[in-house]
Amino acid sequence: MAGRGDPPEGTPEGLPGGGEDEYGSVVFDESFVRAARVQEFSAAERMGEHAPAVRSLPAWNTKRAPAQILVLVLLVVIAFGTAVFLGVRHPYQPAPDRKAERLRITVVPLAPPGPVPGGTPAELYARSPAEQFRAGAAGITMPPVRRTQHFTEGQVMTALTTVKDYLVASSLDPDVLTGDTAQPVRLLLHPDQMAQFDRSVTSPAADGRHAAIGWLVRFDPAKVALADPEVRVRGTLEVLEPTPGTLEITSVHTFVYALRRADGVGRPASGEASLFTVRRELLFRVDREDVSHHRLEVRSSHVQAGPQSCSAEASGVLRPLLAGQRPDSGGPAATDPYATGRPNAALCGSLAPGAQPSP
């Protein structure tokens, strides 16, 4: 029996109260109506001739559209900026693991044509090309400092300062010159080169890799002493960035030492001095990690030093000819081309007469 108020045949299927109502869960509240894209015209609006039954509403709320557009644009800008930043400077990009190379060394003794001139240090300097050289570290002058593509001006200055510290420690420090210590030089080296440096200092060899003279200037204190602690210096420094993130610094400096004979058994020290000249051409490599740790890598070392005899073995210490001495008649140490391993690089040059003090 039909309920009260229902049609005699019951509630039609598909209407509220009858059968399955597929829209039964839909709530036509105010927000649903505001979100509708189609709106029905009122009865008065539909009375017009050819009036459509419905009208389309704009997709954006005109009152909220400017704020929505601004938020969307801001999100796009943030996303683009983040992508660019991560592409250029990825915060998790690991630093390149660079292995320092072994130093390549060339040492050339320079033999004089005759006896070595002698005199007081002041007289010798006044009569030699070193007259215009500066004394000590003042002779190692800095070039104009400019930033490179990947290094700031401050980083370039730090790299140059490290190179200068190396030159001072390895060429001017009295304790290093006399062989008392090599630690000031070692502290400035890349860790990968320390083993090669240690072997060069303790067991020097003329094999192009382990000559102590390639790393530093050193004399035999039993035979030679400094007649003047002020070493004369002149040279240049040049900076390049050949590859991104790596600086190469070339140092070409001439060091002039006033030397005398050291105290020996049964003989007093000589008061007459002579000049000894060392030309060092060094190539250094420095990356950003080296800059932050105040260290460097020595890539190559080319040393010319005289007056010495061509036969002098100068891998461990330099062996200057002092005032009044002449070079021996022998040539450089013999080289065996059949020897296994790395052969000794026996080289010798002739010291130009103008490189010594004039009579």
List, for residues 34-74, the tens digit of each pLDDT value.
Answer: 655 556 666 666 666 655 665 665 555 555 566 777 777 77
Containing domain of residue 154, as a range?
Answer: 104-326+344-355
Do 202 and 265 have their domain in common?
Answer: yes
Do 251 and 153 have their domain in common?
Answer: yes
Do 182 and 232 have their domain in common?
Answer: yes
List, for residues 249-277, the tens digit of each pLDDT value.
Answer: 999 999 999 999 998 644 555 679 999 99
- Give a yes or no: residue 285 inside a domain: yes
- Give a yes or no: residue 15 inside a domain: no
Of the residues 52, 85, 118, the one at which a domain ends: 85
User: Looking at residue 244, what is its pLDDT?
Assistant: 94
Continuous segment of H or E residues that includes residue 25: none
User: Looking at residue 16, what is its pLDDT?
Assistant: 52
- Give a yes or no: residue 202 inside a domain: yes
List, for residues 110-129, the tens digit of each pLDDT value.
Answer: 999 999 999 999 999 999 99
Q: Where do the DSSP E strands lie in the chain?
A: 38-40, 54-56, 104-111, 134-135, 224-226, 232-243, 246-261, 274-287, 297-306, 349-350
User: Looking at residue 160, what is its pLDDT?
Assistant: 98
Sorted by sequence, the CB contacts under 8 Å of residue 320 that are 6+ apart come out as 219, 224, 257, 259, 274, 276, 305, 306, 307, 308
What spatial distance separates the first Cα and last Cα of the chain, rounded to whole Å? 145
Bridge-based pairing of strands 349-350 and 104-111 is: parallel
- Give a yes or no: residue 320 inside a domain: yes
List, for residues 82-113, the tens digit of each pLDDT value.
Answer: 765 655 554 434 445 567 889 999 999 999 99
- Give a yes or no: residue 20 inside a domain: no
Do 61 and 167 have their domain in common?
Answer: no
Do 280 and 196 have their domain in common?
Answer: yes
User: Looking at residue 314, what is its pLDDT?
Assistant: 83
- Cα(114)–Cα(40) distance, rounded to whole angstroms? 119
- Cα(354)–Cα(351) distance, rounded to whole angstroms? 8
- Is 87 or 202 the better-scoring residue by pLDDT? 202
Do 125 and 263 have their domain in common?
Answer: yes
User: Looking at residue 343, what is its pLDDT?
Assistant: 57
* Range with the largest mean pLDDT of 75-84, 174-183, 258-267: 174-183
Mean pLDDT on 139-143 = 97
Do 129 and 220 have their domain in common?
Answer: yes
Do 248 and 148 have their domain in common?
Answer: yes
Residues 199, 297 contacting (CB under 8 angstroms): no
User: Looking at residue 308, what is its pLDDT?
Assistant: 95
Do 80 and 123 have their domain in common?
Answer: no
Do 73 and 174 have their domain in common?
Answer: no
Whether the per-residue pLDDT at 201 is higher than 70: the answer is yes
In DSSP notation, 61-103 reads: -TTTHHHHHHHHHHHHHHHHHHHHHHHHS-TTPPPP-PPPPPP
Instruction: Say what percent of the chain tops pLDDT 90.
Output: 60
